[in-house]
Amino acid sequence: MLYIIRSVDNKYLATAMLETAVYCIMYGFFYHKVSPSSSLNCILNVSFSLILEHVREFSCGKLHYRTFHLDSSKDQLYVGAMDKIFRLNLNNINRTRCEVDSLSLEPNRESSLSCVSKGKSELYDCRNHIRVIQPIGDGNKLYICGTNAHSPRDWVINVNILAFVIRINNVSLVVHKTWITQANLSHLFPYESFPGVGNGIAKCPFDPEDNATAIWVEKGNPSGLPGLYSGSVAEFTKADTVIFRTDLFNVTTGQRVHPFKRTIKYDSKWLDKPHFVGSYDIGDFVYFFFRESAVEYINCGKNVYSRVARVCKRDTGGKNILSKNWASFLKARLNCSIPGEFPFYFNEIREFEQLFCILLIILTTAEHVYKHPDDDSKFYAVFSTSMNGLLGSAICTFSLDSVQEVFSGKFKEQATSSSAWLPVLTSKVPEPRPGVCVNDTQSLPDSVLNFIRGHPLMDSAVAHDNGKPVFYKRDVVFTRIVVDRLEVKGIKYFVYYAGTSTGYVYKLVEWVDRSGEVHSHLVDVFEATVPHPIRAMEISSKHKSLYVASDNVVRQFDLLMCKGRYENCIRCIKDPYCGWDRDHGECKPFVIGLIQDLNNATPGICDDCVKFREMKVNYGQSIHLSCPVRLPDMELLLSKYGSLKWYYFRSERSTGYEVFPRRDKFVHTNDNGLVILNILERESGRYECKLGTNTLCRYNITVDLKTCTAPADNEYRKVYSEWCHEFEKYKQAMKAWQMKQAKCQTVAHPNEVTNS
């Protein structure tokens, strides 16, 4: 008999010919014996419980979980923390064991003492914060770099996978290739060695707070040798910041073949106090995203711009000029602006010298950038303001094509230190064009190298897709972003998850409809690590999960949060992963037949799904009809539709009319509710709360004349106090409004003629 044994998430674990028994094997060697007929049960029971749970978590204490490396083919999430690297199972991070599934990488005593003697804190700064985790080769080795008590160090470690043959009742089980049991994380064995690791300077930062990036690149480098590209600081004092590539070694002989390359030291034209937010290996180039002081901004005070830079992977520097530096380094500004009267740039201004600058430029920093692993054509980035009083964030998408377009456009230059920055005339640009990827940069003429040295900056800014951000909002700061893609009924949806500095995740969806128009809306906001900032985020479509880290905990969220998340139809049909099941009155993962309507193509599609709430009340009673529907994009909907409105229908068929507030009768409460005072028999019927065309709540009120006794005292008090509470809020709002009104009236209207 042939049995297929599956893992809990229905992936094949092993196939075997077994005569005697079937074992349900879960992770490693934990298995239990079940009879053949119940083997399926065993699987179903486990899977089912996974669907019910939307959140799983992992923590071994406050260890500052800040670096992720996701390997979805091996089902692993590697997490860099303080003095440790952890290996989490992507299917369920909760199964991680603190001691077994980790490798300790503590700083040695010497570095630690020296760090403390420089005035850094022993419990935080002078520990080893893992900041880089990158796969080497097929991912069975990892490149690791950590701050190591302000004295960066790097390692290569084994995450080897050992093949086991499991024997059950004298029958060998050949374990499926992707499910081979793993060994513990470990340092390299004595017989293994890896050239060029040990000193981590320029590869990862000294200070755990620094914003740095790094990527291990195997293909396309000179002589085809692997190496690390990084954006970091190369000095304890932080004065020297770099975009760097390590020495390149022949891995078999350990011989250094190409020396390191870097940006010019202390040259503010190349880099000026950068904060790196991401790096990507695409085609011939490595791209770096960062923000820095804007050298070209000379109008008012100092400004920070968001940038993208690139270097050619084949770059081996110049022959005489730029011999230690990149001969292909170019950078350009990123434009993430909100359309309006003035373009609303997401940059950052550190200091203000003149007030008028505030009116013209709004101030934000690139915080993080994401690229989907299967799509090199788009970058998704979050930007935020950093100024008190002007807090806000935006998500912008950039396509690789627009980045390339800017890099093949005009260069920018400043003739003298006091003149304006202007585009360089095409006739002044040498040949071959500076910054293109040539086979041998050492053969470039001095004219090209000199030009690159003085002109790393492009003239145009990289335009964001669609001329507007995907989303922007005041009073939030996005710290991380990841994006999932899915296709439903022939429409491609991009689902953005943006993490905030207070631990929330904003879930947005963007799509292009059949007429080519781009739409986006906020689907959900949920608590991920509240109140702690989100420090790292990853997503795996394969595991249908979102992974979020704060300093205290790592959490895993289902991407398919339908049931148990959306209790009403209106919210359910706006989430591309979900659909509303009319028959069962619940939200489910989308399949054909369920209601889904992101485009709002069928207004009122959910009306039938709003349950009637029956209320039997006594004549003369006062009642409160609540409508506690919370939509994440309520603000936006309100601005579109005005406000929520209550309608009254006397009978099944009658056309309704709007219920306007009336002092002695109808009071609209702040939470969308309606209070009806002293209800009369003729006021029985149907009451509906609507937002635009959507019905949010429905009541069926019957006024009972027969048992027309006075309401019980406590009942009366309850309604009365509820109502009073609302009325009090209303009075306060009114007062505030009157005060404002009074203030405004004292200021003369600009069109008035005043005789003085």
Q: Which residues of the chain form contacts with ligand NAG (CB under 6 A)?
A: 34, 38, 41-42, 45, 94, 100, 169-170, 183-184, 209-211, 223-225, 250, 252-253, 275, 335, 337, 339, 343, 365, 367, 439, 461, 463, 467, 612, 700, 702
- Cα–Cα distances in angstroms (integers) from residue 120 to residues 67, 88, 117, 124, in the given order: 22, 31, 7, 8
Helix (H, G, I), strand (E, B) or coil at 473: strand
Nearest approach, Cβ of 24 to ligand NAG (angstroms)?
A: 7
Q: How far is the CB of 45 from ligand NAG (least distance, A)?
A: 4
CA-closest candidate to residue 629, choices 562, 701, 564, 570: 570
The smaller minimum CB distance to ligand NAG, of residues 337 and 669, is found at: 337
Of 33 and 740, which has the nearer Cβ to ligand NAG? 33
Nearest-approach distance from CB 439 to ligand NAG, in angstroms: 4
CB of 162 to ligand NAG, least distance (A): 7
**Token pair in block for residue 279:** 């790096």
161 contact partners, CB below 8 Å, separation of at least 6: 74, 140, 180, 181, 182, 183
Shorter beta-carbon distance to ligand NAG: residue 380 or 723? 380
**What is the phi/psi pair of residue 567, to 5°?**
-85, -10
Instruction: Give the Cα separation of 691 and 633 in Å (integer).
Output: 12
Nearer to ligand NAG, 365 or 596 (CB): 365
Is the Cβ of residue 159 or residue 572 nearer to ligand NAG in the bound state? Answer: 159
Q: Smallest distance, Å, CB 467 to ligand NAG?
A: 4
- Shortest Cβ 523–ligand NAG spacing (Å): 25
CB of 448 to ligand NAG, least distance (A): 14
Residue 184 CB, nearest approach to ligand NAG (Å): 4
Identify which of residues 594 and 676 has a Cβ nearer to ligand NAG in the complex.
Answer: 676
Comparing CA positions, the residue from 362, 358, 416 lying closest to residue 391 is 362
Determine how many CB atoms are found less than 10 A away from the CB of residue 689: 24
Cis? peptide before 750, omega within 30° of 0: no
With beta carbons less than 8 A apart as the criterion, state whether 107 and 187 touch.
no
Q: How far is the CB of 159 from ligand NAG (least distance, A)?
A: 12
Radius of gyration of the chain (CA): 31
* Least Cβ distance, residue 469 to ligand NAG (angstroms): 10
> How far is 562 from 105, CA to CA, in rounded Å?
41
Nearer to ligand NAG among residue 556 and residue 669 (C-beta): 556
CA distance linking residue 736 with residue 756, whole number of Å: 32
H helix count then E strand count, the chain: 8, 51
Query: Which one, 379 or 493, has the nearer CB to ligand NAG?
Result: 379
If the CB atoms of residues 131 and 455 are measured against ligand NAG, the closer one turns out to be: 131
**d(Cα 124, Cα 63) in Å, to the nearest integer?**
9
Q: How far is the CB of 335 from ligand NAG (least distance, A)?
A: 4
- Measured distance CA(4)–CA(197) in Å, rounded: 44
* Token duo for residue 35: 């009879």
Q: Tell me phi and psi for residue 562, to 5 degrees.
A: -110, -75
Closest contact distance (angstroms) between CB of 586 and ligand NAG is 20
Neighbouring residues of 463: CB distance < 8 A, sequence distance ≥ 6: 335, 398, 402
Cβ-based nearer residue to ligand NAG, 34 or 491: 34
Q: Give the shortest CB-117-to-ligand NAG separation in angstroms.
A: 21
Judge contact between 256 and 248, C-beta under 8 A: yes
Nearer to ligand NAG by Cβ, of 461 and 609: the residue is: 461
Is residue 56 within 8 Å of 44, Cβ to Cβ?
Answer: no
Which is closer to ligand NAG, CB of 254 or CB of 661? 254
Kind of pairing between the strands at 412-414 and 421-423: antiparallel
Minimum distance of ligand NAG from residue 127's CB (angstroms): 16
Whether 624 and 724 have beta carbons less than 8 Å apart is answered as no
C-alpha closest to that of 230 among 305, 290, 294, 272: 290
Looking at beta carbons only, is 169 or 178 nearer to ligand NAG?
169
Q: Strands 55-58 and 67-71: what pairing?
A: unpaired
Query: In whole angstroms, how close is the CB of 79 to ligand NAG at the nearest point?
Result: 14
Strands 22-26 and 186-187: unpaired
Alpha carbon of 311 to those of 221, 277, 331: distances in Å? Answer: 11, 16, 9
Q: Which residues pair with 261 in a beta bridge?
A: 245
Distance CA 297, CA 313 (A): 30
Residue 502 or 541 having the CB closest to ligand NAG: 502
198: closest CA among 188, 211, 213?
188
Query: Looking at beta carbons only, is 100 or 601 nearer to ligand NAG?
Result: 100
**DSSP E strand boundaries for 438-553:** 457-462, 471-474, 478-488, 491-500, 504-512, 518-527, 536-540, 545-549
